[in-house]
A and B are shown apart, each in its own frame.
Chain A
Amino acid sequence: MLINDGIITLEELKKALPPEERYGKGPVAIIECLQDIPCDPCVSACPVKAIKMKEGITDRPILDFDKCTGCGLCIPKCPGLAIFVVQKNIAPGKASISMSHELLPIPLKDQMVTLLDRAGKTVGEGKVLRVINPPAYDKTAVVTVEVPEEKVMDVRAIRVNAGGQP
């Protein structure tokens, strides 16, 4: 359980997930923010206004999956680093996941990195597809990695073992 060990169970995650058919329409954000905390930068980060709070800023964000384009601009703005963008079926059996990465080294495109699940356990290796780290992101890089499709709901962090940008 999230509240006991910091690990979101798939059951708890359900309310943040898009309907299965949404994945067929391209990348989509998953906001793993399940607690009513006073925070709202994701709302103004979304260029298509797909993120809303029910009432005040202490509600949890609700994403309109139809409006979401999966652009990922909300990812680096989340102080909780809780937003991920998932794209399924990028190649047979392959999906991609984009996430914030605020640790050194920052990986390079095409580099192989260790994939970690929500408990920090190694679930395999994946190739870095994209690294976005412009000044506007203020040192929160957004890294997209290729993962086996069946692992895309498990992988939530990476470990860069060597190389990369210092």
Chain B
Amino acid sequence: MTSLRIEAHPVLEFEKKKKVRFFFEGKEFEGFEGEPIAAALHAAGVKMLRRSPHKNRARGFFCAIGRCSSCIMEVDGEINTMTCITPLKEGMQVKMQKGHGEIKP
């Protein structure tokens, strides 16, 4: 299967960014610094970002611009983080939040 990252494009040029490591459910992944967390996960083949609190349905990103809240996850302990607009940083801990998540004091 070919990678989802676009290497060459007839019209666009994509700026090469710095590679960083991050963790999804404790497992190590690679992405590019500054790209949205959801984009890095998508490129790595992770499409399910959480499960819905009531019916336990699989949820992925939908709008990709921070409107619809479909992509919310727990990032570095903070729940309800919109991963489609939150830039990826080295060492980030990204988790599927359970139910509505738990606000930590």
Beyond the given pairs A103-B10, A104-B10, 8 more chain A to chain B contacts, judged by CB atoms under 8 angstroms and listed by A's residue number, are: A102-B10, A102-B11, A104-B8, A104-B9, A106-B10, A139-B10, A139-B11, A166-B8
Q: Give chain B interface residues in 1-59, CB to chain A under 8 Å.
A: 8-11
Contacts of B11 in A (CB 8 A): 102, 139
Min Cβ gap B84→A in Å is: 27
Min Cβ gap B99→A in Å is: 45
10 contacts between A and B (CB under 8 A): A102-B10, A102-B11, A103-B10, A104-B8, A104-B9, A104-B10, A106-B10, A139-B10, A139-B11, A166-B8
Across the A-B interface, give the 5 residue pairs with the lowest CB-CB distance, nearest first: A139-B11, A104-B10, A102-B10, A166-B8, A104-B8
Number of residues on chain A facing chain B (CB within 8 A): 6
Number of residues on chain B facing chain A (CB within 8 A): 4
Q: Report the separation of the CA atoms of residues A139 and B13 in the bound assembly, to the nearest whole angstrom.
A: 11
Residue of B nearest to A139 (CB): B11
Contacts of A103 in B (CB 8 A): 10
Contacts of A166 in B (CB 8 A): 8
Min Cβ gap B36→A in Å is: 25
Q: Report the separation of the CA atoms of residues A103 and B10 in the bound assembly, to the nearest whole angstrom.
A: 6
Q: Give chain A interface residues in 120-166, CB to chain B under 8 Å.
A: 139, 166
Q: Report the separation of the CA atoms of residues A92 and B10 in the bound assembly, to the nearest whole angstrom.
A: 35
Residue of A nearest to B7 (CB): A166
Q: Report the separation of the CA atoms of residues A166 and B8 in the bound assembly, to the nearest whole angstrom.
A: 7
Q: Report the separation of the CA atoms of residues A103 and B6 in the bound assembly, to the nearest whole angstrom.
A: 13
Min Cβ gap A40→B in Å is: 22
Contacts of A139 in B (CB 8 A): 10-11
Q: Report the separation of the CA atoms of residues A152 and B11 in the bound assembly, to the nearest whole angstrom.
A: 28
Min Cβ gap A104→B in Å is: 5
Q: Report the separation of the CA atoms of residues A166 and B11 in the bound assembly, to the nearest whole angstrom.
A: 12
Instruction: Please indicate which of the listed interface residues B8, B9, B10, B11 has the most CB atoms of chain A within 10 Å of its own CB.
Output: B10
Q: Give chain A interface residues in 92-113, CB to chain B under 8 Å.
A: 102-104, 106
Min Cβ gap B101→A in Å is: 43
The interface bits of chain A over 53-94 (1 if a CB of B lies within 8 angstroms of the residue's CB, else 0) are 000000000000000000000000000000000000000000
Min Cβ gap B9→A in Å is: 7
Contacts of B10 in A (CB 8 A): 102-104, 106, 139
Min Cβ gap B3→A in Å is: 15
Contacts of A104 in B (CB 8 A): 8-10
Min Cβ gap A154→B in Å is: 24
Min Cβ gap A32→B in Å is: 21
